[in-house]
Amino acid sequence: MRKEITIGAAQLGPIARSDSRKVVVERLIELMRKAKKSGCDIVVYPELALTSFFPRWYMENQEDVDSFFEHEMPGTATKPLFQFAVENEIGFYLGYAELSQESGTVHRYNTSILVDKNGKIVGKFRKVHIPGHFDHEPSWSFQHLEKRYFESGNLGFPVWESEGVKMGMCICNDRRWPETYRVMGLQGVEVVLLGYNTPTHYPPNESPEADALTLFHNHLSMQAGAYQNSTWVVGVAKAGCEEGCDMIGQSAIIAPSGEIVAQSVTLGDELVAAVCDLDLGRPYRENHLNLGMHREIDSYQLITERKGVGPPLGKRSSG
Ligand code: ING
């Protein structure tokens, strides 16, 4: 019996700064309704799917920043989404800004959760690779202050078994780093779910060539990650012109071969679904990309900061 899971990539168009959580959750539910009609077992939403991509704004007042964070999950505004999921027996991946109290200290993460068909949160991931910058750059047309608003994730890259499928998660910039997929690949991951908010122009990149390659690099990163780790990868965008900032779409469902089997074609709310045969990863995982058989760990030149060599660690603040 082939092991299959039908996955819905639920791309979102722009979310305005003034849009309430209630209005956004209604859009998420509408996409889940379409997913159900398409026979989906699970729906994947973008990174920071409940609000506008607020790191594009410099905010001095912490209360203003914290208004974009969820203090509990599910909370009042998100309970209807969990409810609808349980009634329709569908799981989901949701990206959101998490404010958490850990032994009396407030921490802020760029987070995603994996929720099963019974509405249970089976897994949580916190974005590890935090892009952008810490200090306000007033000369730029917009900011990318993720390093100011989020801590780097402290949960690693776990893989969970849900509905009999080995699933992992990551968020946006994580998809650009091979380690992200490899750590999950070494755990036998079969499906990697991820959401992203990717501006066409990334402020720290000054070269115009970089903008022209944003779409290419988006799929390149996910297709390589899929193929090199024999896993499905589902990448879902928050897309369109959001508060004056153009963001790419190109949400995609990618097979372990690296081939794109389904892709969004708009920059708005759009559901793209595919039946994912999990056995398609087997020929790669067991043969020419068998991680246990062919990797030569001892011969790898691992350059790390601990040995005092390699590139300087990125700075989180000007200090
Ligand atoms: N956004 C972007 C991303 O990694 C970026 C940041 C854009 C980095 C373009 C490099 C090039 O897709 C988030 N939210 O990480």
Residue type, 198: T
Largest CA distance in the chain: 59
* pTM of structure: 0.95
Vertex 108, ends 102 and 109: CA angle to 5°?
105
Distance CA 73, CA 78 (A): 7
pLDDT tens per residue, range 195-204: 999 999 988 8
Distance CA 205, CA 208 (A): 8
130: nearest Cα among 106, 109, 102: 109
- Residue owning the nearest CA to atom 11 of ligand 1: 202
Distance CA 29, CA 12 (A): 12
12: nearest Cα among 276, 273, 254, 242: 242
Pocket-testing residue among 173, 196, 211, ligand 1, by greatest number of atoms within 8 A of Cβ: 173
| Residue 100, both tokens | 């958490």
Of ligand 1's listed atoms, the one at least distance from the Cα of 205 is: 11
**pLDDT at 319 (0 to 100):** 40
User: Any catalytic annotation for residue 3?
Assistant: no
Q: What is the distance of C-alpha 33 from the center of its chain?
A: 21
With a Cβ cut-off of 6 Å, ligand 1 is lined by 131, 172-173, 176, 196-198, 202, 214
Distance CA 227, CA 281 (A): 9
pLDDT-flagged residues of the chain (< 70): 301-319
**pLDDT at 313 (0 to 100):** 57
Provide the 8-state DSSP code for 199. B
**pLDDT at 205 (0 to 100):** 80
Distance in Å, CA 214 to ligand 1 centroid:
9
Of ligand 1's listed atoms, the one at least distance from the Cα of 176 is: 4
Which of 40, 170, 172, 245 is flagged as catalytic? 172
Q: Where do the CATH 3.60.110.10 domains begin and end in the chain? A: 4-284
**pLDDT at 206 (0 to 100):** 73
CB atoms < 10 A from the CB of 220, how many?
Answer: 13
DSSP annotation string for 10-70:
EEB----TT--HHHHHHHHHHHHHHHHHTT-SEEE--TTTTS--GGGS--S-HHHHHTTSB
Which of 124, 127, 147, 238 is flagged as catalytic? 127
What are phi and psi for residue 292, nearest 5 degrees? Answer: -85, -25
Pocket-testing residue among 111, 128, 144, 247, ligand 1, by greatest number of atoms within 8 A of Cβ: 144
User: Any catalytic annotation for residue 172?
Assistant: yes
- Residue owning the nearest CA to atom 3 of ligand 1: 173
**pLDDT at 318 (0 to 100):** 46
User: Any catalytic annotation for residue 242?
Assistant: no
**pLDDT at 308 (0 to 100):** 58
The topology (CATH level 3) of 4-284 is Nitrilase/N-carbamoyl-D-aminoacid amidohydrolase (3.60.110)
Distance CA 267, CA 247 (A): 8
